[in-house]
Amino acid sequence: MKELLRPRRLAPGARVAVVATSGPVPEERLQTGLDVLRGWDLDPVVGPHVLDRHPEFGYLAGTDADRAADLQNAWCDPTVDAVLCARGGYGAQRMIDLLDWDALRAAGPKVFVGFSDLTVLHEAFATRLGLATLHGPMAAGVDFIKNARAQEHLRATLFAPETVRTIASGGTALVPGRARGVTLGGCLSLLAAELGTPHARPSARGGLLCLEDVGEETYRLDRYLTQLLRSGWLEGVRGVLLGSWEGCADYAGLRPLLADRLGGLGVPVAENVGFGHGEGALTMPLGVAATLDAEAGTLTLDEPALR
């Protein structure tokens, strides 16, 4: 697995577009998130359909075509320096095949931020654009608008990425050891759902795989991990970083499953690394070379996440 192209860091006055690619966006939370961005001396603009709701499926923020158009237009706008997703939920899989990847590639590299359902787009930006992305808080997300640690870590990553080259949250080792590779991953259920699709990478070989999820029963997490194992997708992975499991079983009960499904890989596995749906989530760069020290609970990037 190769390192991906790192976009340029942001500077004061940079224009950032906020788009809704997945679930419907609460207007009050969006406005609060935009105020946070303005407080960082950024110039946020919103997609025209960011507050839409699908006429039939209320779990979607507008139609597939409109959500895809908002993302593509924002990315292809030469005045926009970064694209931030408003929230997750569900819907990225429905709109991703409507994007013009040639046009996105021609627009050049930009910062892309999101997580959860946006795992689908992280994978596609890696495979189609060869672009490193940021698995981080979203503009209308509760954690982004209310949690100082989540805000500050994203802000530092965007403006001064050299200050957050080591990501440490006081985690522990499920399987001890050190490993070097290229970061990838995101929401476990979405990685499993993407297997065999045109935008998914063929395997995690050579990678440091970041995994987290939200609101899943233990047997379903077992199913997702088993699917990744049986498909061969995890063969050659260098190490695994486990984030939060918000709304899942108590971690003491979940830990034996993770040890059972991941312990046999023979690679370091760090737990409680601090990214994902949990409170105060850290921003995790994807597509960058790094070293994992599972016992220390640290991920140290070879270079800053952004140039």
Q: Is the pLDDT of residue 175 over 90?
A: yes
Q: Which helix (H) or strand (E) holds 265?
A: none
In the chain, what percentage of residues exceed pLDDT 90? 99
pLDDT tens digits along 295-304: 999 999 999 9
Show Cβ contacts of residue 7 under 8 Å, excluding neighbours closer than 6 positions: 82, 109, 110, 111, 112, 131, 132, 306, 307
Question: What is the rounded CA–CA span in Å between residue 82 and residue 258?
Answer: 35
Backbone angles phi and psi of 23, in degrees to 5 = -85, 165
Instruction: State mean pLDDT over 236-246.
Output: 98
pLDDT at 171: 85
Instruction: State mean pLDDT over 152-167.
Output: 98
pLDDT at 243: 97
Instruction: State mean pLDDT over 9-14.
Output: 98
Q: Which helix (H) or strand (E) holds 279?
A: none
Q: Is the pLDDT of residue 115 over 90?
A: yes
pLDDT at 170: 83
Q: Which helix (H) or strand (E) holds 176?
A: none
Residue 32 vs residues 35, 58, 103, 207, 244: alpha-carbon distances, Å: 5, 23, 32, 36, 25
Q: Is the pLDDT of residue 39 over 90?
A: yes
Question: What is the rounded CA–CA span in Å between residue 205 and residue 197?
Answer: 18
Residue 142 vs residues 2, 52, 137, 151, 179: alpha-carbon distances, Å: 34, 19, 9, 11, 33
Which of 262, 214, 272, 261 is CA-nearest to residue 238? 262
CB-count exposure of residue 142 (10 Å: 0-12, 13-18, 19+): middle
Instruction: State mean pLDDT over 80-104.
Output: 98
In the chain, what percentage of residues exceed pLDDT 70? 100
> Are 199 and 120 a contacting pair, CB within 8 Å?
yes
pLDDT at 65: 98
The residues annotated as belonging to the active site are: 116, 212, 277
Residue 110 vs residues 39, 96, 188, 215, 278: alpha-carbon distances, Å: 21, 18, 25, 31, 26
Backbone angles phi and psi of 95, in degrees to 5 = -105, -10
Average per-residue pLDDT for the chain:
97
pLDDT at 169: 81
Q: Is the pLDDT of residue 33 over 90?
A: yes
pLDDT tens digits along 52-91: 999 999 999 999 999 999 999 999 999 999 999 999 999 9
pLDDT at 13: 98
Instruction: State mean pLDDT over 196-223.
Output: 97
Q: Is the pLDDT of residue 278 over 90?
A: yes
